[in-house]
Structure 1
Amino acid sequence: MRPTPRIAVLGSTNMDLVAYVAKAPDRGETVTGREFRTIPGGKGANQAIAAARAGGDVTMIGAVGADDFGVRLRGALGESGVDTGRLRTVEGASGTAHIVVDDEGGNAIVVVPGANATVTGLAPGDAEAIEAARTLLLQLEIPLEGVLVGARTARERGVRTVLTPAPAQPLPPELLAAVDLLVPNEHEAAALTGRTDPHEAAEALLEQVPELIITLGSAGSLYADRSGTRLTVPAPQVKAVDTTAAGDTFVGALAVALGEGRAVPEALAWASAAAALSVGRPGASASMPARAEIDAFVRP
């Protein structure tokens, strides 16, 4: 029996306000949508829920607002098995993400940080929660200073740090120096390096981090490390309904698979299966598969 990985997530919680349309509007254009949903999301919360559903013991560190969205966000995390004891409530509004999803499964997103903007550091007890975990998951929807404090704390306490550099932005060298595994998509990798070829981007990024995975959408994922390992794992071919949380699903499931001690090729294939299942369903956290679904998909 595999061990249950302990995972801490320091990141954002947002309420996703999702409009479904045949075609996303161009600038200055108004279109009629066919459906609207409010769905708990945020890259931090998404990764936490994905990891918990995949079988991890997950703690969420972050902030929600003192509003109805905050209550719903906390409840959604708890219902998925995420420990919300380190999720603080602050005055003001919770974070929101305004998302347009078209019939091809593509999306465009505007994030309003709200309470997430207050996560500029760790609250009392957060460092201990990170230390108790085996892996810390980080993203960039909270202030960069908060991400840096979390990464440094993990490094000091011997906890593996996994950073998803999204939304893409320039990263200070001191943050990358505290990252063990970087997981950008191909667009983020290009933004960080100025190189559009994922293989060239990977070589450039290995000068800054020891290990990385570049997700390539329907083409799968590329793994590289400083020991010389280079590995491409294809993604299952499925019809995409909504790609909103595919990357977060991948990272959450990956953290569980690696935490269980699986070899990198198996971990990548398992995480890719989780992401493939998620894109076949609408919504962010609502689309994330349970562990049994991932196992059945991998071994039908």
Structure 2
Amino acid sequence: MVPHDDTAIVAIRNILTRLCKRSGLSVDRLRTTEIDTSPLLDLPVVKRYAEDHSLTRLQSVLPVVREHARRLPPTHRVITDAELSLGLLRETGEAEIDPSALYSQDLGARREYLSAHWRRLHELAAADPIPPAPTVRSLRATPERRAFTALAALLVTGTVHTDDRYGRIPDRAGTGTLTVIGDAVIDHVYQVDTIPDARGFARGRFTANPGGKGLNCVVAAARLGVDVRFITSVGDDESGRRILDYLRSENIDTSLVKVVPNAATPITALIVSRTGITGTIACTDDRIRLTDTELTAPLVRSALTDTDAVLITLEPPLPVIEQALATVQALADRPPVLVTSAKVDTPQVLYRYLSAVDYLIGSVRELDYLVPEVPARSGPHIAEQLRMLGARAVCVVEDFGCTVRSDRLALDIPRMQAAALTDIPGSRSAFVGALIYRLLSGARERETKDQARNFANEHDFAWATAAMVATQSFAGDIPGTMPTVDEVDRIIRLTSEKH
């Protein structure tokens, strides 16, 4: 944080106060206003957000103001939310609140609603104690001035995704840096005795937690000590904030996460039987997907080119995947590239990039999506099909076992004896995180330094397979089952003792 600049704070406060008039703060209002907004557009926090998210400064003002308004004390937050028409309380879905009145096109109407519903708005903002409700006249004096001064002070002295809270995580000596491109969602998990048919009935339990293949993989790697940067997008809603808070709690760098204003974070439903077999219903919103344009932003491009490994899940839109693979394929000193398979509408588009993929990972079904013309007969069969298309190594991972085919290895690791279930959500993410850890750590035996960076051996794949077994404690929280190094070592030790 930099010292307070009272002159700058007053200037920003005056701009925000004037922008309250009419319909409030918006890109159109900034574009058409006669107010000199250059001090607001020139704020370091706005410029940094614009650079990180490949937006113009005009487009960056609203999400930056919204993010900083959330950090205000309840009364200041309620006032600035209503008068700037930021829409923060719209996300609560509270039936007693009328968003069309609270965020009316007229400032006077917003003030009247704010005064009339003062107590309930403060209750929604978790205020304790709640100050006496002001009249519209008194609201326009001291309360507004204090609220907008506090917001201006945060904007002048604050940062977005650069201070300790926003996850510039410390270096982890000897492990390396991983950059991940993938999805982050909220998983609605239904654990049932059996998955019901169309007219069936099942008893079970429900949980809702952060998830998505990308998120699960970054947590898996971070739990093992890898320095992880995550390129993804979330909505500017309670679920998006929950995901960001969760990632930061796992010590993951969120500085490259795109937060989309006025959009809902996607939800995925998973129905999990007691043996671990899972059915999935995915729901996405194109408004909050990454775009290939964002991958050309300087910070994102730097993250892809200055890293020890790259992981790309096939969840984002195809142009994003293409752009990411083209970027790393063009590097003279390319880091190891791992790709986790998923259903892609036109997989043939990706074939020209497969030569840049060091490890292509998935179940038989997931990998079969990439070769729609040739049905997979087995793990070794689909692995060889994808190797002929250019992938350097293919890892078929399912049922707590692993099949690997590459120029160096023809490896079949059978289902481990410690596996008590058929499968479990997130087990393949644990495998991916563990393989990356082995590639980047100094824990492996190699003939040369070059081999240590680029090629996994039988011990690495066995260790990664053991990481899948360690996820069997699943109770609805998929990333929560990702194991530590000690937990994987314990599985390896117990397996060795049985032979």
| TM-score with structure 1 setting the length | 0.91
1:130-172 CA-to-partner distances (Å, cap 9, x unmatched) read 2221111111211011111111212223122111111365422
Is 1:277 matched with 2:470? yes
Runs of 4 or more above 6 Å deviation: none
Where 1:213 maps in the other structure, the secondary structure is strand
Is 1:51 matched with 2:221? yes
Is 1:138 matched with 2:312? yes
Quick check: which one's helix share is greater?
Answer: 2
Q: 1:216 aligns with which of 371, 391, 398?
A: 398
Q: Distance in 2 between matches of 1:85 and 1:37?
A: 28
Matches within 5 A, 1:121-200: 121=292, 122=295, 123-157=297-331, 158-167=334-343, 170-171=346-347, 172=349, 173-191=351-369, 192=371, 193-200=374-381
Q: 1:82 aligns with which of 230, 252, 257?
A: 252
Q: 1:234 aligns with which of 408, 414, 422?
A: 414
Higher RCO (CA 8 Å, separation ≥ 6 residues): 1
Q: 1:25 aligns with which of 189, 192, 196?
A: 196
Q: 1:115 to 1:59 in 2, by over 3 A?
A: farther
- Amino acid paired to 2:319: E
Where 2:232 maps in the other structure, the secondary structure is strand
Matched-pair identity in %? 27
- Structure 1 residue aligned with 2:112: none
- Amino acid paired to 1:298: I
- Structure 2 residue aligned with 1:119: 290
* Number of residue-to-residue matches in the alignment: 297
Q: Distance in 2 between matches of 1:188 and 1:81?
A: 30
Unaligned runs of 5+ in 1: none
More moved, 58-67 vs 235-244: 235-244
Q: 1:72 aligns with which of 238, 242, 265?
A: 242
Q: Distance in 2 between matches of 1:49 and 1:197?
A: 30
Q: 1:105 aligns with which of 267, 276, 281?
A: 276
Contact 1:116 1:142 in 2 (8 A): no
Contact 1:113 1:142 in 2 (8 A): no
- Amino acid paired to 1:99: L
Q: 1:242 to 1:72 in 2, by over 3 A?
A: farther
Contact 2:469 2:491 in 1 (8 A): no
CA drift at 1:291: 2.0
Q: Distance in 2 between matches of 1:115 and 1:50?
A: 27
- Amino acid paired to 1:163: V
Contact 2:268 2:282 in 1 (8 A): yes
Q: Distance in 1 between matches of 2:423 and 2:239?
A: 22
- Amino acid paired to 1:175: Y
Q: 1:290 aligns with which of 476, 484, 487?
A: 484
Q: 1:145 to 1:79 in 2, by over 3 A?
A: same
Q: 1:39 to 1:181 in 2, by over 3 A?
A: same
Contact 1:64 1:115 in 2 (8 A): no
Q: Distance in 2 between matches of 1:139 and 1:109?
A: 17
Q: Distance in 1 between matches of 2:287 and 2:358?
A: 24
Q: Distance in 2 between matches of 1:292 and 1:62?
A: 29
Contact 2:195 2:202 in 1 (8 A): no
Unaligned runs of 5+ in 2: 1-171, 445-455, 495-499
Q: Distance in 2 between matches of 1:269 and 1:256?
A: 13
Where 2:471 maps in the other structure, the secondary structure is helix
Contact 1:241 1:280 in 2 (8 A): no
Where 1:278 maps in the other structure, the secondary structure is coil
CA drift at 1:56: 0.8
CA drift at 1:250: 0.7
- Structure 2 residue aligned with 1:3: 174
CA drift at 1:5: 2.4
Contact 1:165 1:183 in 2 (8 A): yes
Q: 1:299 to 1:211 in 2, by over 3 A?
A: same
Q: Distance in 1 between matches of 2:212 and 2:469?
A: 19
Q: 1:97 to 1:43 in 2, by over 3 A?
A: same
CA drift at 1:234: 2.7
Q: 1:54 to 1:151 in 2, by over 3 A?
A: same
Is 1:249 matched with 2:430? yes
More moved, 151-160 vs 100-109: 151-160
Where 2:394 maps in the other structure, the secondary structure is strand
The structure having more radius of gyration, on CA atoms, is: 2
CA drift at 1:178: 3.3
Q: Distance in 1 between matches of 2:288 and 2:343?
A: 14
CA drift at 1:269: 1.2
Q: Distance in 2 between matches of 1:266 and 1:113?
A: 38
Q: Distance in 2 between matches of 1:176 and 1:128?
A: 22
Q: Distance in 2 between matches of 1:231 and 1:117?
A: 40
Where 1:47 maps in the other structure, the secondary structure is helix
Q: Distance in 1 between matches of 2:286 and 2:299?
A: 19
Q: Distance in 1 between matches of 2:353 and 2:317?
A: 13
Contact 1:9 1:138 in 2 (8 A): yes
Where 1:19 maps in the other structure, the secondary structure is strand
Q: 1:52 to 1:299 in 2, by over 3 A?
A: same
Contact 1:23 1:102 in 2 (8 A): yes
Contact 2:265 2:288 in 1 (8 A): no
